[in-house]
Amino acid sequence: MALLEVNNLSISFGGLRAVDNFNIQIEKGELYGLIGPNGAGKTTVFNLLTGVYKPNEGIIRLDGEDITRKSTIEINHAGIARTFQNIRLFKNMPVIDNVKVGLAERYKYSALEGMLHIGKYKKVEKEMDDEAMRLLKVFDLDGERDYLASNLPYGKQRKLEIARAMATGPKLLLLDEPAAGMNPNETKELMDTIALVRREFDMTILLIEHDMKLVSGICEKLTVLNFGRVLCQGETREVLSNPEVITAYLGE
């Protein structure tokens, strides 16, 4: 059974069918790419998967569980974490606290214990600190643990966003244009980071990207969207040599 199974997903905004009959199957451990021209509906698919929009039709299953009409929060708890096209960090909080917000669902103590710093507070906070530092080390952010998130350089902000998403303990990680605004060196580093996430956490990843070097470099399978419809789906190499894809998106 596939980890993520999406059938006949559709949504309309007014008269515009932004996503029309979208299907995708992602197996556990795969690195899957979602590409297509601007306005094709890629981010809308992400927003449907994470419950920001509710679909008009279709069904989304994660690990066999129907998550179609759940809220963003429930979907996150069910195991989908995401990053955003325009970075959305908790800017006025230290780097480590950004990650600890993500950890909060797995490391719990009561509100009263938190307000009075009694009971399990010390022990659980220590465990959270350790786990957060472990994550930050993986992303090479441990040196900046007390920096405010807004003071990090761009590339590191991207990494922190991925670290925060990983902190929620997801089964599936959605990356929305992780290489947007990056220079070739930073993109190269990002590719290493994504490879690292897969290796370290055995993570299944679905990513939206325009940088074809990144897509052809790391994605195993691709889905091409055009005007809200699936144009082509399959192994990266085959998809990228498909004449339809070349006309619609890549150009001659």
Partner 1 sequence: MNKITKNNLITYGIVIAAYIILEALMLTGNLSSHLKGLLVPMTYYAVIAVALNLCVGILGELSIGHCGFMCIGAFSSAFFSKAMENTLPTVPRFIIAFIIGIGVAALFGFLIGIPVLRLKGDYLAIVTLAFGEIIKNVINSFYIGIDSKGMHFTMKSAMDLEMEADGNVIVNGAMGITGTPHNANFTIGIVVLLISLFVVQNLINSRDGRAIMAIRDNYIAAEATGVNVTGYKMMAFTISAAIAGAAGVLFSHNITTLTASSQYFGYNASIMILVYVVLGGIGNIRGSVIAACVLYLLPELLRGLNTYRMLIYSIILIVMMIVNWSPGIIAWREKTFGKSGLLGLFGRKKEVA
Distance CA 210, CA 166 (A): 23
User: Judged by CB under 8 A, which of 2, 59, 101, 196 binds partner 1?
Assistant: 101
φ/ψ (deg, to 5) at 211: -75, 105
Whose Cβ is closer to partner 1: residue 135's or residue 222's?
135
Based on the shown chain and the rule CB under 8 A, indicate whether residue 90 belongs to the binding site for partner 1.
yes
Based on the shown chain and the rule CB under 8 A, indicate whether residue 94 belongs to the binding site for partner 1.
yes
Binding part of the chain for partner 1, among 12-20, 99-107, 182-190, 211-219 by CB under 8 A, reads: 99-107
From residue 175 to residue 194, the character string flagging contacts with partner 1 as x (rule: CB under 8 A) and all else as - is --------------------
Based on the shown chain and the rule CB under 8 A, indicate whether residue 123 belongs to the binding site for partner 1.
no
Based on the shown chain and the rule CB under 8 A, indicate whether residue 109 belongs to the binding site for partner 1.
yes
For residues 236 and 41, the answer to whether their CB atoms sit within 8 Å is: no
Whose Cβ is closer to partner 1: residue 89's or residue 232's?
89
3-state secondary structure 45-114: HHHHHCCCCCCCEEEEEECCEECCCCCHHHHHHHCEEECCCCCCCCCCCEHHHHHHHHHCCCCCCCHHHH
Distance CA 199, CA 194 (A): 9
User: Judged by CB under 8 A, which of 23, 29, 66, 117 binds partner 1?
Assistant: 117
By CB under 8 A, the count of residues binding partner 1 is: 43
For residues 169 and 77, the answer to whether their CB atoms sit within 8 Å is: no
For residues 200 and 10, the answer to whether their CB atoms sit within 8 Å is: no
Tokens of 111: 């509100």
Distance CA 176, CA 86 (A): 9
Q: Looking at residues 158 to 177 of the shown chain, list those that interact with partner 1 (rule: CB under 8 A).
A: 164-165, 167-168
Based on the shown chain and the rule CB under 8 A, indicate whether residue 217 belongs to the binding site for partner 1.
no
Can you give the binding site for partner 1, defined by CB under 8 A? Answer: 50, 71-73, 76-77, 81-82, 84, 88-94, 97-98, 100-102, 104-105, 107-109, 111, 113-117, 121, 124-125, 128-129, 146, 148, 164-165, 167-168
